[in-house]
Structure 1
Amino acid sequence: MSSLGEAAVALGYGVASALVPVVNAEAYAVVAGQRAGHALIAVVALALGQTAGKLLLFESARRGSGRLARAVAKRGTSGRAAVRAARWTESIRRWLSRRRTALPTVLVSAAVGVPPLAVVSLAAGTAGVRRWEFVGACLTGRVIRFALLLLPAVLA
């Protein structure tokens, strides 16, 4: 496959894996590493696709955060579960609302996977993280993650 074709497939796979949890971008990165000629292209395109997909989650949370809060409040969950969910949500949101902790959290989540990047993307959207900062931290972390996954296959 040509490098342009490989980039297009990796980009599409990255977007799909960002939005559909059962589509595994890490597995694709390892398989792409077997073809060392296009490994760098696959890493960058996969990271761009993942970042684009997570940006969709980020933007949907940012634009719909008021509606989501109202829907959760109306639903009336059980007492203990509601308190626990509110406490967890508020602490994550506080963590992401501070500039000095928000970007490192997004970067670590994108590179390591803990906390899950999908959750961090949604929380960052509601916490007021700047779009370009989110994209930069997410893209950097994803490139690091996929490059480290690919490294053993490329060096072998």
Structure 2
Amino acid sequence: MHLGWPELLALLTSLAFGVVSAIVPIANAEAYVIASQVTAVAGPLPVAVGVGLGQSAGKLLLFIAVRRGRDFWFVRRQHHDQQPVGPVRTRIRAFLARLLELVGTNRWGLPIVALAAVVGIPPLYAVSLVAGASRMGALWFWLVVAAGRVTRFVLVALGVGWLPFW
């Protein structure tokens, strides 16, 4: 693949948008990829690879923020008294505890991250936070997310290219 100036610009802007969309959920990466292909700004690969790598970098930032959160100077170390919680919050806490347990295991951790990165179920945002609180290695997390997100966005970009043939 030869990268001319338009492709390089598309790659870099997609990389930046990917980082933002990984941290700010309202910025939709799929919509960005589809819009870039519908408007024919650049080919599918520079945009898809840029957004995928940007998303994986942003999710790694979330991962590290959870893992090292207490070390940041702006995190308050106040402990609030625990108030009784309702049945919905109790179920959510139990689900998150089970997910944290599974993501922290060698057998299920990386497959859950891969599924979230490619399919989006469970949501990758939540999985990134849970993985940061688990024993999972940051490098393995980033590699699996990068591979999954690039795959996802290449499929989205190529899928938009096939729409005229349908």
Question: Is this a same-fold pair by TM over 0.5?
Answer: yes
For residues 3 and 77 of structure 1, the distance between their equivalents in structure 2, rounded to whole angstroms, comes to 55
Matched pairs, number: 155
2:7 aligned to 3, 7, 10, which one?
Answer: 3
5+ residue gaps, structure 2, are none
Structure ID, larger Rg? 2
Please name the residue that 1:52 is paired with: 57
The 8 Å contact of residues 113 and 144 in structure 2, kept in 1 or not, is answered as yes
Query: By how many angstroms is 1:127 displaced?
Result: 0.8
Shift of 1:7: 1.1
Contact map agreement 1:51 1:139 (CA 8 A) in 2: yes
Letter in 1 for 2:65: S
Which residue number corresponds to residue 29 of structure 1? Answer: 33
User: Secondary structure of the equivalent of 2:68?
Assistant: helix
Tell me the equivalent position of 1:41.
46
- Note the C-alpha offset of 1:32: 2.3
From 130, 134, 137, the equivalent of 2:144 is 137
Q: Helix, strand or coil: the match of 1:98?
A: coil
- Secondary structure of 1:100's counterpart equals coil
* Structure with the larger helix share: 1
**Over aligned residue pairs, what C-alpha RMSD do you find?**
2.5
C-alpha distance 123-71 of structure 1, shift in aligned 2 (>3 A) = farther
Tell me the TM-score normalised to structure 1 length: 0.87
Structure 2 residue aligned with 1:19: 23
SS where residue 115 of structure 1 aligns?
coil
- 1:145–1:77 Cα change, 3 Å: farther
Is the Cα–Cα contact under 8 Å of residues 14 and 50 in structure 2 kept in the other structure? Answer: yes
Structure 1 residue runs without a partner (length 5+): none
Distance 1:8 1:97, change over 3 A: same
- Residues of 2 paired with 1:84 and 1:63: CA distance? 27
Please tell me whether the aligned partners of residues 62 and 128 of structure 1 are also in contact (alpha carbons under 8 angstroms): no
Q: Is the 8 A contact 1:36 1:154 kept in 2?
A: no
Q: Distance in 2 between matches of 1:149 and 1:77?
A: 45
Instruction: Give the equivalent residue in structure 1 for 2:91.
Output: 84
Q: Which runs of 4+ in 1 moved over 6 A?
A: 65-68, 70-73
Q: Is the 8 A contact 1:10 1:45 kept in 2?
A: yes
Q: Is the 8 A contact 1:97 1:128 kept in 2?
A: yes
Flag the 1:105–1:6 CA change in 2: closer, same or farther, 3 A: same
Determine if the alignment matches structure 1 residue 117 to structure 2 residue 121. Answer: no
Amino acid of the residue matched to residue 88 of structure 1? F
Deviations 1:37-72 (A, max 9, x none): 53201111110110111111100111137999x878
Deviations 1:76-134 (A, max 9, x none): 35243453233112101111011121111001101001100000000000011101110
